[in-house]
Structure 1
């Protein structure tokens, strides 16, 4: 882009530039669209894969005009929402806040494009992985936002599947969403597992490739591991005998005695055991170690 001068308006790359005839206005818009979309693609892929983005000293190319029926401007808007140098404490003193602000902007962006909806989810999941590694508290606070974006992505993936439009994130977004809901591990998040698995199975049967089958099989393996872990946790809790309560008199100024068991219903949605899925290197079972040796578990998790 830089070598061909697309990052600058045509009038700025020549000392003397004659007025373009009306028919050449399309050339200017094409140059702008080409540059900004290419730049957005570089920013998005760099962010998702943790690579340095290409930067320009001076950009004079104006943003292209949105066209009816096109969502290219939303693609560029999403790229511009991503924070730059989020690990550079000198340029960004509060990286978790920058990531949280980006997540808010992505959630607020409205579009009727299924592709943009899937892309929103991909970026939200990428932000969430970084946010969790930087600040567990901030990650817990934004779980509902990420799940809401993920739910919309499931509908978008199903819609593209129906019209046989195999964008790469048709399978990628549902798989990543499964990893998120398993990692959060609350009843409100786990309730989406069946819907995700049904969609991944339908994707694998519609686009019958090694990648789609592997995605479904890996998803099933993750669900199985999560289920076994929770069964062991439940088994350990069930092994604890019912503890008798002390029959203390009521506290002074309180009409309710201590014999009444506390209500813990509010706690059922508290997330726990995030490290199993968002950072599998911290806690590994024998089965997880095998996944790591094969390079499959960490690769699919995007960690």
Structure 2
């Protein structure tokens, strides 16, 4: 009986045709599924003929791609690829999968460890009622808190006119009449000023946050949102991102984005349009306000694996004008690259490698901006790992250099009592990526990363930080334990007492004909091309005691 011949696919998908790979003709094909390509077929139109009308029940949808916005977000041929990209963008899913790979029985639960420093709560569980702004504190104290905000936060998130703010603050205390929605701006700035000037929360900070929330939630819209309402919501999103849960932040940031669209600030309407025009404000302030709101919504959505709010026209806001002492443009300059990592958009090896190199070439000067750059690089690295791709040694070296710089910036911010959300999030994610890279240089950075996370946890002694440090410690411990188990197996194989003890093999010449297979092995496995075969085949390298001496490298976390 003759064996069945392999059936050839009648039609190969376009990625397989371009890369000259075997295609099984399915949708998606096995090759595209394994490599993360966007599988699609070029369908050439046939000669039209009269077709019978079809009922809705028998209608067949054409092939769709993940870039199509008309179909369901979770359907189509790229469903598995979409799920992988969602998991890669989400730090929580990536950590969970890393733990399952190391030790499924003891892996950390699904959680966004170190997403921020944690909630700021008083020792006594009090529920203060909202007060009038002038009843919370004095004008002098409000100025001090505002000064802390404009010194530490405004250079990175510069969307408030400082001169106008202090003028309206003075007027608010002189009139003693509620300024309605602008009170949410005053209270929001002062609450964030408390956060960045006082290590421990105070009753003043709690009252300020309650007053800001009350102003925003009770405001009744009778038309398009004005600039004060939008500014108040952006401030609320910033405060929640640094102190509250991911879901509360996502809801607030999504609400802010919808209000921005309703206001007409973005996208800009056509001059001859009859639709409402945007609220009146300085064009540069408008770009900064929209940019910061967009930045917060994109990354909160990525972390949770939820949908981000996008406008009907997905054009990004124009970069803000540069100002002395202001680096908002550095942070918002990362927004186009961030949006390009949307899970609905598939990226191949060339796209991801190019994005990584572009990010590494970026110039970021201040700690919050550097950590924003690190956060984006970590996301690209997670995407590269999820697609089983490799990066070259020079690029890996540049990545480790940037991550080391990020750890130094996180320590600076912790010592300066600047609780940006990245001060906890980035060091924790760096530890996970270093374990995933699993190279000698990356593992050598683990002590520095653990010390940085420990410093942040001791500076902000919250349940959130204690949990983050415990999870990181567990991941490193499980990785160490697995290495020790592997070394024990190698030791048992090399020191088998029941086998005849062979003498050490003589020095091998890889250039000889006998070992020509080594050349073929190196050619087939590009990862071996950096290995010095002469050194590898040296008889001294075959000493079991030398091989097992690597256990001393792993004892740092016992």
Compute the TM-score of the two structures, normalised by the length of structure 1: 0.70
The 1:250–1:82 alpha-carbon spacing in structure 2 relative to 1, beyond 3 Å, is closer
More displaced 10-residue stretch of structure 1: 216-225 or 58-67 = 58-67
Structure 2 segments unaligned to the other structure (5+ residues): 1-259, 496-501, 516-532, 538-558
Which residue matches 2:320?
64
1:203 equivalenced with 2:456 (yes/no): yes
CA distance 1:106–1:248, change in 2 (3 Å):
closer
- Residues 172, 238 of structure 1: CA spacing in aligned structure 2 closer, same or farther, 3 A cutoff? same
**Residue 271 (structure 2) aligns with:** 12
Contact 1:36 1:76 survives alignment (8 Å) = yes
Q: Give the distance between the partners of 1:176 and 1:227, measured in 2 at CA.
A: 18
- Provide closer, same or farther for how the CA distance between residues 53 and 188 of structure 1 changes in structure 2, counting only shifts above 3 A: same
Q: How does 1:176-255 map to 2 (within 5 A)?
A: 176-241=429-494, 244=503
Query: For 1:55-83, what per-residue CA distance to the aligned partner results, in whole angstroms no more than 9, with x for missing partners?
Result: 33445964321222111111111111235
CA radius of gyration, larger in: 2
User: Residue deviations 1:119-147, cap 9 Å, x none?
Assistant: 11111111211211113335988543432
Q: Deviations over 1:148-185 (max 9, x none)?
A: 22111101101101111011111111111111111222
Q: Which residue of 1 aligns with 2:330?
A: 74
Structure 2 length-normalised TM: 0.40
Please list every run of at least 4 consecutive aligned residues from structure 1 whose deviation after the TM superposition is greater than 6 angstroms. 248-254
Q: d(CA) in 1 for partners of 2:396 and 2:463? A: 31
The answer as to 2:323 corresponding to 1:51 is no
Q: Distance in 1 between matches of 2:463 and 2:483?
A: 30
Instruction: Sort the Cα spacing of 1:132 and 1:140 in 2 relative to 1 into closer, same or farther, 3 A.
Output: farther
Relative to structure 1, is the Cα distance of residues 114 and 245 closer, same or farther in structure 2, using a 3 angstrom cutoff? same
Mapped to 1, the partners of 2:399 and 2:427 lie a distance apart of 13
Q: 1:65 to 1:11 in 2, by over 3 A?
A: farther
Relative to 1, partners in 2 of residues 1:126 and 1:140: Cα closer, same or farther, differing over 3 Å? farther
Q: What are structure 1's unaligned runs of at least 5 residues?
A: 18-23, 266-303
Q: 1 CA distance for matches of 2:510 and 2:284?
A: 76
Equivalent position of 1:273 in the other structure: none
Corresponding position: 1:32 with 2:287: yes
Q: State the alpha-carbon separation in 2 of the partners of residues 245 and 121 from structure 1.
A: 48
Hey, what's the Cα distance between the residues in 2 that align with 1:11 and 1:121? 38
The answer for the alignment partner of 2:261 in structure 1 is 2
* 1:251-293 per-position Cα deviation (integer Å, ceiling 9, x unaligned): 9988x9xxxx95239xxxxxxxxxxxxxxxxxxxxxxxxxxxx
Report what 2:350 is aligned to: 97
**How many residues matched?**
250
1:263 equivalent in structure 2 = 535
Cα separation, partners in 2 of 1:249 and 1:38, compared to 1, 3 Å = closer
- Describe the superposition over 1:194-227 as per-residue Cα deviations: whole angstroms up to 9, x where unpaired: 1122222221111110111111111111111111
Which range is displaced more, 53-62 or 185-194?
53-62
Q: Specify whether residues 142 and 133 from structure 1 end up closer, same or farther in structure 2 by C-alpha distance, changes over 3 A only.
A: farther
1:217–1:9 CA distance, 2 compared to 1 (3 A): same
Counterpart Cα distance in 1 of 2:272 and 2:262: 12
Cα separation, partners in 2 of 1:214 and 1:241, compared to 1, 3 Å: same
Contact 2:319 2:332 in 1 (8 A): no
Distance 1:28 1:11 in 2: 15
Residue 406 of structure 2, aligned match among 153, 167, 173: 153
Check whether the contact 1:48–1:126 (CA below 8 A) recurs between aligned residues.
no
Partner of 1:299: none
Residue in 2 that maps onto 1:118:
371
Counterpart among 56, 59, 84 of residue 340 in structure 2: 84
Q: 1:247 to 1:213 in 2, by over 3 A?
A: closer
